Structure 1
Amino acid sequence: MIPFTDFGNLEVLVIITGFVCLAFYFADPCHLRKCSSNMITQLYSYNGPNGPSSWKNLYTKSNGPQQSPINISQFTNTVSADCENNILAFSEEYNVTPKDMSIYNDGHSVTIYARWESGLRPEITGGPCSERYEFLNARFRWGPNDEEGSEHTMECKAYAMELQAVHIKCGKHYETLSEAVEDDAVLIVSYFYEITSVINPYLQPLIAALPKIRHPCVCVCMEPIPLFFLMPSFISKYVSYVGSLTHPPCTEGVLWIIQTEPLGIASSQVAQFRRLCSFSGNLVMNRRPVQNINDRDIIFYD
């Protein structure tokens, strides 16, 4: 198994998926069920009989008491925190253009990977983080229209998209993301994107690369851009809580940080994501419905 923290294996991933999914290029692009019937990633989807309501039948962890996403509301279990004495800090690497950057369509989402010349990865410290976390990857969530794309909601309001940046505790190495979560080693920093009347130029290198990964199991290089373009640093106006992965196996133990002030994206840019394909058709949505908060606290950093 390729360690998921080893970015040196990105080239290997491209080669392997190229052979495994060669048939995708010769098939009807959005009817690939026959090409991938044995792939484990087909065990779940976001609609139909394998949709979120059925996940608990295959993934018992998805029925736990601390699931994600949630609705963020000041009328639930909220706690106010002082962000001045323990500032959330993003390392300089967030502002540095990576040596290379890749995007991958796994049939469920678009994931971004990157490597830097220094060999270092962007890190986050402070705020609710008791240790240093380093960037692993970032994936996008969207919906069938511009009003319901984000997984998390604010006072029951959804946004057009949500970007979830996965981080792992520094110095840790795991074979799977679920294994890292079970070791309380995962931080996910989430950003909302709302519709604006103008195109977001910072997203254009990513948008331009999307047609190249229309088919599942395709990983390609894109024009490298600083992560700051996608996920600006912030020190206030955010919330944190303990939840889970929002995709199977939905392992609990994830520390979530959510920036509550949305970024901008044009409707035409979001539409490019909906043109991608899953294993069973168009990938028009990949959002899990909100889960019960139960007795968890939501910590507000103003």
Structure 2
Amino acid sequence: KPSRGLDPPPPLHSLFSGPHGQEHWSNDYPDCGGQAQSPIDIRTKSVQHDPALPPIEPQGYRSPGVGAFTLHNNGHTVEMSLPPSMFLRGLPQTYAAVQLHFHWGNDQDEGSEHQVNGESCPAELHIVHYNSESYANITEAKQQADGLAVLGIFIEVGDVANPAYDNIFNQLKNIQYAGQNVSIPPFDVHELLPRKLGHYFRYNGSLTTPPCSQNVLWTVFQQRVQISSSQVLALEGLYSTKAANSVPLVDNYRAPQPLNQRVVFSSFPVGECIGPSWHRWGVAAEPGERRTGPPLHFSWSGGSDSCFSPQDVTFSLSLQLLPTPTDPSPIAATSLWSDAPTYIQVESSSKTHRALTSEPKGWWWHQGFYLPG
């Protein structure tokens, strides 16, 4: 990645398309044609779970110091410098922060560099670090096989603006054209990250722009963060050139590269892609009365499936019958999923029933299911 201490690639308008586009990078930068390039399409069926992978532990992210951040439009992305007081634990060595930057598409369409099962997000955030435990600075580290580590965060579009990202996006109007900088007050960078820092994909790869150095330890978080439509449009409203000859700064992402013989590991069982979902509905019954509730129809959207794509799933269904608040007796019910009609077995502290008989008036049926993938 182009960054403080990293070699800058050509201007954007000639970087991703045309005679000097990404298909031709290896002509001038041999590593760009290497066997361990990034980004990649993460195919969850071939991912190997490694339970020994620990959660990522960002240090200093919440209080990154008193000095202002510098936000820069460098013609191919928006980049914000980060102080070395921000660093990562949970990796083989300690890695100090250098900068963060974004990749995005056009018309709020695909723009992330990494994909999962062939699907991308509208944008992706990268936070670049260098191995500060072994090397004195980024210039030294970028030459070494274990020199760099990058966090990748998928960004999707939601209905509500993300206030953490507003710390950056509200300033984009001040760096609309290439070469412009703006200073912004330090803020809680940790809020840019997803909540589940223990759920990620790990592989060895490269920088995704020239010189494409193959010395990056990638951590791509499974959980996505959401920003609003207007926040994405703020990115898409930038330019890769000076004001006098403006060229839109869009589609600044590299296509997925072959995995070759590399292995992608996950810190979590990939079957956990779809989490618990809950539905609640009510059925009232008089004492001694049998009562059948209406059919329950439920579904989940692609947006709630952090595996990104439709897939065959198995699931279990549990049902609970809860008394009205005026009746404190504990009651529970369970039933296995079946295509045939099933009975509800009701268990209380004193008796067991196979149907809703001689129990207090007013029931809430509480159903939850888990989709292990």
TM-score range, shorter chain: 0.7 to 0.9
Q: Look up the match of 2:79.
A: 111
Any idea what the Cα deviations from partners look like across 1:184-217, whole Å, max 9, x if unmatched?
A: 2100011011010111122112111101111112
Q: CA RMSD in A?
A: 2.2
One-letter amino acid of the counterpart of residue 102, structure 1 = T
Higher relative contact order (CA 8 A, sep 6+): 1
**SS in structure 2 of the partner of residue 203 of structure 1:** helix
Cα distance, 1:40 vs structure 2: 6.6
Contact 1:181 1:254 (8 Å CA) reproduced = no
Q: Look up the match of 1:102.
A: 70
Q: Does 1:271 align with 2:217?
A: no
Q: Does 1:144 align with 2:106?
A: yes
Contact 2:104 2:251 (8 Å CA) reproduced = yes
Change (3 A) 1:175 1:297: closer
Q: Does 1:296 align with 2:259?
A: no
Aligned ranges 1:40-55 → 2 under 5 Å: 41-42=10-11, 44-55=14-25
Contact 1:88 1:234 (8 Å CA) reproduced = no
Any idea what the Cα deviations from partners look like across 1:136-156, whole Å, max 9, x if unmatched?
A: 111100011323010000111
Larger radius of gyration: 2
**SS in structure 2 of the partner of residue 135 of structure 1:** strand
Q: Look up the match of 2:183.
A: 221
Change (3 A) 1:168 1:72: same
Any idea what the Cα deviations from partners look like across 1:238-261, whole Å, max 9, x if unmatched?
A: 010000000101111210001011
Q: Which runs of 5 or more structure 2 residues have no equivalent in the other structure?
A: 269-373
Contact 2:82 2:97 (8 Å CA) reproduced = no
Contact 2:146 2:215 (8 Å CA) reproduced = yes
**SS in structure 2 of the partner of residue 131 of structure 1:** coil
Pick the aligned partner of 2:249 from 279, 283, 289.
283
**Counterpart Cα distance in 1 of 2:4 and 2:77:** 17
Question: How many pairs are equivalent?
Answer: 257
**Counterpart Cα distance in 2 of 1:61 and 1:288:** 15
Q: Look up the match of 1:123.
A: 87
**Counterpart Cα distance in 2 of 1:165 and 1:82:** 24
Q: Look up the match of 2:307.
A: none
**How high is the TM-score relative to the length of structure 2?**
0.64
Q: Which runs of 5 or more structure 1 residues have no equivalent in the other structure?
A: 6-38
Pick the aligned partner of 1:210 from 164, 172, 175.
172
Q: Does 1:195 align with 2:169?
A: no
The percent identity for this pair of structures is 28
Deviates more, 1:153-162 or 1:221-230: 221-230
Contact 1:66 1:293 (8 Å CA) reproduced = yes
**SS in structure 2 of the partner of residue 94 of structure 1:** coil
Q: Look up the match of 2:51.
A: 82
Any idea what the Cα deviations from partners look like across 1:43-65, whole Å, max 9, x if unmatched?
A: 85122222211212221110000
Cα distance, 1:232 vs structure 2: 4.5
